[in-house]
A and B are shown apart, each in its own frame.
Chain A
Amino acid sequence: MMTAQNLDALYQEIILDHYKNPHGKGLRDAFEAEVHHVNPTCGDEVTLRVHLDDGVVADVSYDALGCSISQASASVLYDLVVGKPVDEALALHEEFLALMQGKGEVEPDEDTLEDAIAFAGVAKFPARVKCALLSWMAWKDATVQAGGNDA
């Protein structure tokens, strides 16, 4: 149970904006790996493709079904990692993971996480952490399959 105040902490405007107008949504053709991840408890799912080019995340394309948190999270992921060197993107993944698993105790760094800091409020709701992590876990999986770990 949470109060109306907590509700606003969970559903930051940034999250609702990304939910209504997701960035980079849709599956695109150039890719080295495609994965399909589901959240078995709620049925949320994402199909996600990764295109790497010369050590850089050239594209992340995705098709997702799920709640506002999981949809907004995929959109924010797209904004953050596309165009970045793979190792830098993987470091961002670690940072986002630490934020989400931090039970609300981790102070996010806006300089690196940008819009993803809006998810700090989600970390206080254990039931919703998996929603926020769905596309990020899918991206890590696809990136490893695409050989991105060797970059």
Chain B
Amino acid sequence: MTTPTLPGLLPELEVVRKDFPILERTLAGGQPLVYLDSANTSQKPQVVIDAMVDHLERHNANIARAMHQLGAESTGAFEEARDKVAAFLNAPSRNEVVFTKNATEALNLLARTIDLGPGDNVVITEMEHHSNIVSWQLACERSGAELRWFGLTDDGQLDLSNADQLVDENTKVVAFTWVSNMLGTINPVADLTARAKAAGALSVIDASQAAPQLPVDVQAVDCDFLVFTGHKVCGPTGIGVLWGREELLNGLPPFHGGGEMIETVTMARSTYAKTPHRFEAGTPPIVEAVGLGAAVDYLGHLGLDAIHAHEQAITGYALEGLATVPGLTVLGPTDATQRGGAIAFELEGVHPHDIAQVLDSRGVAVRAGHHCAKPAHARFGVQSSTRMSSYLYTTPAEIDALVEALEYTRSYFKLG
């Protein structure tokens, strides 16, 4: 394969790729791996793997309670990860970084603890991941609050034409994704947080798809809460992050009860620690936090601006390549500067599952289905789609392999 060069690609891309051992492996039949499922989960650089192995080999102990050297080292490593995440988000205080299991748990934590009642409303959008829909549906069912949502325009943007009616004086929460995991749309988050603020509502940003590929600055976007997951930013599974303004977090009731989240406990009642420990009941994912800390450090070294430019270059190249496949329709914005690196598409005459299966036989890994965004699919009259998603290690040659495999899929299913 020849490797075309594009303006905007990460410098020394081939060297960067060597940081990811999995990219070297071959699949059945000796095929090289073409991994285009990074919006699902990203691959892990050696530095993250090493940080986790080193912790397990040399520093493993429970945190915050063990009165011995290993306990101090483990606690130090866990809390250092918090500092790294705080820096990654440009958070004013490390106390604002709460470790959760994943982004879903972080959203559920908010939906469970923010006080809602009859007469209140929660505003979400039609392009949310199910985790930012169902958690609020449950909260509204429990509390009697009303659930509202922004619709979508035909070109896959948020329809803000009725924003002033949707977000009103009874709105308690406006929750929205920064980057859509299905349409790729990058939403005007600062505008949305300003609308929430003007209405006296709390803003919640799902940055699960944004944090891997854009500089995320919680102070610049002026949000109240923001969540993301570790495994999409080159970190491990099992760890996510809830960031929130310190005074707001301290005003929320506890989520899970247990060890580490208390000040004192008697048989009759307990008092609770302040954030972040307030929301970190029980032994947390220690080695996963260490891995996440190494991951955000790694992204910081490459530079989020450089990663973003790389994603845009690859996305533009992919949109051009996909446009050459007969019968292929891209869902969402077709301007690479307006979108993230996940591109969902339909191929007329072949079901997404069958596409993914044939691509897999050529070593090309993509996702097929509804991508946990059924309402967004329904909005565009699509039952399911195929999604390719690139990341900082994706090469133009891999996009060529995808396009070639799609042509092969068409011939396999005897389409023209």
Chain A positions within 8 Å of B, measured between CB atoms, are 1-4, 6-7, 10-11, 16, 41-45, 65-69, 71, 125, 128, 131
Contact = CB atoms under 8 A, between A and B. Distances in A.
A46 to B, nearest CB: 12
A2 B351 contact: no
A16 B363 contact: no
Contact of B351 (A10, A16, A41, A67): A67
Contacts of B351: 66-68, 71
Interface stretch (B112-120, B163-171, B189-197, B352-360): B352-360
B363 A1 contact: yes
Nearest to B361: A7
Given A42-B384, A43-B370, A2 B354 contact: no
Contacts of A2: 28, 357, 360-361
15 contacts: A1-B361, A2-B28, A2-B357, A2-B360, A6-B361, A7-B358, A7-B361, A41-B369, A44-B383, A44-B384, A67-B351, A68-B351, A69-B354, A71-B351, A131-B353
Interface in B262-314: none
Contacts of B383: 43-45, 65-66
Interface in B172-229: none
Nearest to A16: B413
Given A1-B31, A42-B368, A128 B361 contact: no
Contacts of B413: 16, 68
A10 B357 CA distance: 10
Given A10-B357, A67-B352, A67-B354, A42 B370 contact: yes
Contact of B357 (A7, A44, A45): A7
Interface of B: 27-29, 31, 350-354, 357-358, 360-361, 363, 368-370, 374, 377, 383-384, 412-414
Give 9 nearest A-B pairs by CB, closest first: A67-B353, A67-B351, A3-B29, A1-B27, A7-B361, A43-B370, A42-B369, A1-B28, A43-B384
A71 B383 CA distance: 14
B374 A43 contact: yes
B268 to A, nearest CB: 44
Contact of A68 (B27, B31, B354, B368): B354
Nearest to B28: A1
Residue from B27, B357, B383 having most chain A Cβ neighbours under 10 A: B357
Given A1-B360, A42-B370, A44-B353, 10 more contacts: A1-B28, A2-B357, A7-B361, A16-B413, A42-B353, A44-B383, A67-B351, A68-B354, A128-B353, A128-B357
A65 B357 CA distance: 17
A131 B368 CA distance: 13
Given A42-B384, A43-B370, A3 B353 contact: no
Contact of B29 (A4, A11, A45, A65): A4
Contacts of A66: 351, 353, 383
